[in-house]
Chain A
Amino acid sequence: MHEFIQTIINGLETGFLYALIALGYSMVYGVLKLLNFAHGDVYMVGAYIGYYVLQAFGGPTALSIPVPLLVFLMFVAAALGCGLLGVGIERFAYRPLRDAPRIAPLITALGVSFILENSVLLLFGGFTKSYSTNSFINVDTGGINIGSINIDPVQITIFVGSILMMYGLMQIVDRTTLGKSMRAVASDREAAEMLGINVDRIISYTFFIGSAMAGVAGVMSGLAFNQISATVGFLAGLKAFTAAVVGGIGSIPGAMIGGLFIGLCEAFAATYVSTKFSDLIVFGILIVVMLARPTGLFAQPALQKV
């Protein structure tokens, strides 16, 4: 029983990360109908930004500022850096292809993802870097302890932080003019343009918000798993996209549920079957889900418009 509950907690931890990445995917897909393969790599860049903020304030063992402030600064820096990166990618790689056949931006996205991954390899080296979270946050006995079950401070940060960000995003999308414009662009770009919405700017904002959330997720992953490397982005991005699909593209609660679903699948496969095959099992489940319900578990099947 103890193992079961701990697995659920670990699954929720990865699940929330996938959910945060999935939101960016989902928003971009909703607005541009573009599968942004580079999104996973933006998440990876976020982890690196967090790492260098940590180094800038003295490194894990000799911090010069209080830990909560540090974590906050890491989040802000990663959000800003990744947000700008996302806007830049959209501006220079995707915008020229806005009216090209569907396959062109997809292949460009593969190229952007490849360049980001290898640029990080070039700039920061191929070795994995470690946040050494346990030297400045007490992950073994800190946080909430119920019996032998432990929810450590990093996990609490992830749970609370992700839920807050998703709530904020839902408020933005539902309540503000920006959110209204986003929904308008998503449902019909040309009509939105005719109604005086600056489509380019809305798309830039969408990329900024989505990438910023991916960046925060990157920092969270660095805190949670300690290890960051240039190659984690692609796979995480893939799983996150599937999370978005499972929950129904364009739906914010859907992306969250999809992310949690995949995180839990992965955690249970790793605990109860084999760590070696957890990825394979997740891929299997995802293929089956995508084939069985391509429109997502909750979405209504869309009719093809001619």
Chain B
Amino acid sequence: MPIGVDEWVAQHADRAEVGGGWRGTVGRLAGRVGWWPRWGLAVLAGLFFGQLALNVNIQTTAVNCLIYAILAVGLNIAVGWTGLLDLGYVAFFGFGAYGYALFSSTALGSGGAGGAHLPAIETFAIVVLATGIFGALIGLMALRVSGDYLAIVTLFVGQAFFEVVNNVDPGTLGGVNGLFGLDPVHWLGGQITTPNGYYYLALVVCAGLVGLLHFLDNSRTGRGWRSVREDELAAEAMTVSTGIVKVMAISFGAMVAAFAGVIFAAQQDTVFPTNFTANILILIYACLVLGGAGSLAGAVLGGILVTAGEQLVSSPTDAGYLFYGLILLGLLLKLRPWRVLAGVLVGTAVFGVALHAIVGAISSSATAGSPGSAGWIGSLVSHWVIVPANATTFGNVLYILTIVLVFVFVRASERWRPFVLVPTIWVAACCWESRLVVNPAITAQILIGAILIATMTIRPQGLLGTMRVEVV
């Protein structure tokens, strides 16, 4: 039960969401399943996924998904539950990864030989504890500064961590080149070498941590965290020791991040400073915000969705599924009544084909390029989008045009929106085919930024979070 929130008001969104119709029925049935059965089902689904014997790329992506799920779960403690904007979180991830790297390579030896090479269980224990202490030290800052000031100080800590591992190079931390040749996770004579093995390791760690944190969430400490988030002054008046509670939040989050760091380092078998930049921090935030800050299931879901989406974007055959799939899904969910939906779909198709034909008749070179998407999507849209032979400048112009059209769409009145939507979708698709698909790395980053903005504007509680009502 959230503290500092009027119960009836706080549940308003739930009541509104679980309404009539088949969606209401499904929602009510799902609401009847308890937390632990749901947890068990998710773990079973994860185990089943591991048994599918998919190819190595998918398995590696799955490990990354789980790593980011763990990271988002850890970030959720400070950001979602305690309301502390911790922008140095990526340093804990890096601390864990570098910790594992130091104890599992020749880094602590001399001349490229020797080194610690500790068994997995010892490394895990040492690294997680060390990161917890590091986190507690950073957490002490939360006693001095709060709000935006805490955000900026922790951001400096994150940047400082990057500067340290990037520039200090006494042969131990590796500098720009990072540390490489790390041992796989090994314990009692066995070792994990396959991506699938790391998948199961990450799954066990993730499931275990989520279970533990669920207990913690319902404990006195968890209530303390939420009380600090809702109203620190009131919490203090109610004898919550806000200082200890805040330090604990950041420290526990750091420990969770350390687990992710260890798995990340072991699976990748190298660590580089660039693995722990502000970009990664924003990626983790996107995971948490999309899934829903304050919800464990949301954090896990967000981590999986964002990482899988990022992977999809980087492949020209699969990127189309993501882009057109999301557009279709959005239209299907949001456009009502059905005749408007049908009108927009047909209108968009006709609009594109007609423009393609007209432009092609005027100048054949203007439609000479081929869409960036490969596979059947590419051939399907090739008569719908316009891609000139040299598409770079054209794509750049369309990119700006897309942004302008999205702004116009946002500002347009309800009545005009369907009419603006048609050219917006088509221009976005042309831009996607001519410019964005060919630059998957940048595209992924832009999409991550868009996720942050769109989630905060449209659905601030994320996919699975619950709406918070501020009681003044």
Interface of B is mostly: helix
Instruction: Say yes or no: B163 contacts A96, CB within 8 Å.
Output: no
The CA of A276 and the CA of B163, in the complex, are separated in Å by 9
Neighbour of A290 across the interface among B152, B399, B452, CB < 8 A:
B152
Which of B436, B453, B457 neighbours the largest number of chain A CB atoms within 10 Å of its CB? Answer: B453
A108-B144 contact given A238-B159, A290-B152, CB 8 Å threshold: no
* Chain B binder among A5-13, A65-73, A210-218, A281-289: A281-289
B167 touches A114 (CB 8 A): no
Check B160–A107 contact: CB distance below 8 A: no
Is residue B460 within 8 Å, beta carbon to beta carbon, of the partner chain? yes
Query: CA–CA, A238 to B450, complex, Å?
Result: 21
Quick one: closest A residue to B164, CB to CB? A280
C-alpha spacing A283/B161, complex, angstroms: 10
CB distance from B376 to the nearest CB of A (A): 27
Count of A-B residue pairs with CB < 8 Å? 131
Could you mark each residue 79-93 of chain B with 1 if its beta carbon is under 8 Å from any beta carbon of chain A, else 0? Answer: 100010100000000
Query: Which DSSP category, helix, strand, loop or mixed, fits chain A's interface?
Result: helix
Per the 8 Å Cβ criterion, residues 398-453 of B in contact with A are 399-400, 407, 410, 435-436, 439, 442-443, 445-446, 448-453
Q: Does B147 contact A (CB under 8 A)?
A: yes
A 288-306 binary contact with B (CB < 8 Å = 1; else 0): 0011001000000000101
- Residue A234 at the chain B interface, CB threshold 8 Å: yes
With both beta carbons as reference points, the residue of chain A lying nearest to B153 in the complex is identified as: A290
Candidate in B410, B450, B456 with the most chain A CB atoms within 10 angstroms: B456
Bound CA–CA A225/B292 (angstroms): 42
Determine the distance from Cα of A234 to Cα of B279 in the docked complex, in whole angstroms. Answer: 11
Interface positions of A from 88 to 108, Cβ below 8 Å from B: 88, 92-93, 96-97, 100-108
Q: Which residue of A lies closest to B143 (CB)?
A: A291
CB distance from A100 to the nearest CB of B (A): 6
When chains A and B are docked, how far (Å) is the Cα of A277 from the Cα of B445?
28
In the assembly, what is the distance between CA of A238 and CA of B149, in Å?
12
C-alpha spacing A119/B470, complex, angstroms: 35
The reply to whether A111 and B452 contact each other, CB–CB distance below 8 Å, is yes
Check if A102 sits within 8 Å of B470, measured CB to CB: no
Which residues of chain B are near A100, meaning CB under 8 Å?
456, 460
* Interface membership of A267, Cβ < 8 A: no
- Pair A97/B457 contact, Cβ less than 8 Å: yes
Residue numbers in A under 8 Å from B293 (CB-CB): 103
Minimum CB distance partner of A284 in chain B: B160
Number of interface residues of B (CB under 8 A): 51
CB-CB under 8 A from B107, the residues of chain A are none
- A110-B285, A306-B233 are known contacts. Are A96 and B457 too (CB-CB below 8 A)? yes
Whole-angstrom CA separation of A112 from B164 in the bound complex: 28
Per-residue contact bits, chain B 363-382, to A (CB 8 Å; 1 contact, 0 not):
00000000000000000000
Q: Are B449 and A112 in contact (CB under 8 A)?
A: yes
Given A242-B152, A294-B145: A304 touches B233 (CB 8 Å cut-off) = yes
A102-126 at interface with B (beta carbon < 8 Å): 102-108, 110-115, 117-119, 121-123
Q: A277-B167, A280-B160, A287-B157 are in contact. Are A106 and B453 (CB under 8 A)?
A: no
Q: A241 interface residue, CB < 8 Å from B?
A: yes
Q: Is the CB of B152 within 8 A of A111?
A: no
Which residues on A sit within 8 Å (CB–CB) of B453?
93, 108, 111-112, 115
| Contact residues in A for B79 (Cβ distance below 8 Å) | 103
- Shortest Cβ distance from B407 into A: residue: A92
User: A122–B399 contact, CB under 8 A?
Assistant: yes
Q: How many whole Å from A134's CB to the nearest CB in chain B? A: 29
Q: Are B147 and A122 in contact (CB under 8 A)?
A: no
For A260, the chain B residues whose CB sits under 8 A away are: none
Which residue of A102, A117, A118, A279 is within 8 Å of B147 (Cβ)? A102
Check if B463 is an interface residue, CB within 8 A of chain A: no
The answer on a CB contact under 8 Å between B148 and A106 is: yes
Q: Is the CB of A245 closer than 8 A to any CB of chain B?
A: yes
Residues of chain A within 8 A (CB-CB) of B133 are none
- State whether A280 and B163 are in contact (beta carbons under 8 Å apart), knowing that A101-B470, A245-B152, A294-B149 are contacts in the complex: yes
Q: Are A287 and B163 interface neighbours, CB within 8 A?
A: no
Q: Residue B141 at the A interface, CB < 8 A?
A: yes
A160 contacts across to B, CB distance below 8 A: none
Q: A79 within 8 Å of B by Cβ?
A: no
Judged by a CB distance under 8 angstroms, whether B468 is at the interface is: yes
CB contacts (< 8 Å) of B108 on chain A: these are none
CA distance A97 to B85 in the complex (A): 17
Q: Mark B125-150, 1 if CB is under 8 A from A, else 0.
A: 00000000000000001001101110
- Judge whether A97 and B282 touch: CB under 8 Å: no
Question: When chains A and B are docked, how far (Å) is the Cα of A249 from the Cα of B292?
Answer: 32
With A and B bound together, what is the CA distance between A119 and B449 in angstroms? Answer: 10
B296 at the interface (CB under 8 A from A): no
Beta-carbon contacts under 8 Å, B282-305 to A = 282, 285-286, 289, 293
Which residues of B are found within 8 Å of A115, using beta-carbon distances?
446, 449-450, 453
Residue A35 lies at the interface, judged by CB distance under 8 Å to chain B: yes
Minimum CB–CB distance for B454 against chain A, Å: 8
Asked if B151 and A283 sit within 8 Å, CB to CB, the answer is no
Please measure, in the bound complex, the distance between the C-alpha atom of A103 and the C-alpha atom of B147, giving whole angstroms: 9
Q: A106-B85, A108-B456, A119-B446 are in contact. Are A92 and B282 (CB under 8 A)?
A: no
Please pick, from B144, B163, B442, B451, the residue contacting A122 in the complex, using a CB distance under 8 A: B442
- What is the bound-complex CA distance between A121 and B441, given in angstroms? 10
B256 at the interface (CB under 8 A from A): no
6 closest residue pairs by CB, A with B: A111-B452, A114-B449, A115-B449, A118-B445, A111-B453, A280-B163
14 A-B residue pairs with Cβ-Cβ distance under 8 Å, sorted by A, are A97-B457, A100-B460, A103-B85, A107-B452, A110-B285, A110-B449, A121-B445, A122-B399, A122-B439, A279-B159, A284-B160, A287-B156, A290-B145, A291-B141
B-to-A contact residues, CB < 8 Å = 79, 83, 85, 141, 144-145, 147-149, 151-153, 155-157, 159-160, 163-164, 167, 233, 278-279, 282, 285-286, 289, 293, 396, 399-400, 407, 410, 435-436, 439, 442-443, 445-446, 448-453, 456-457, 460, 468, 470
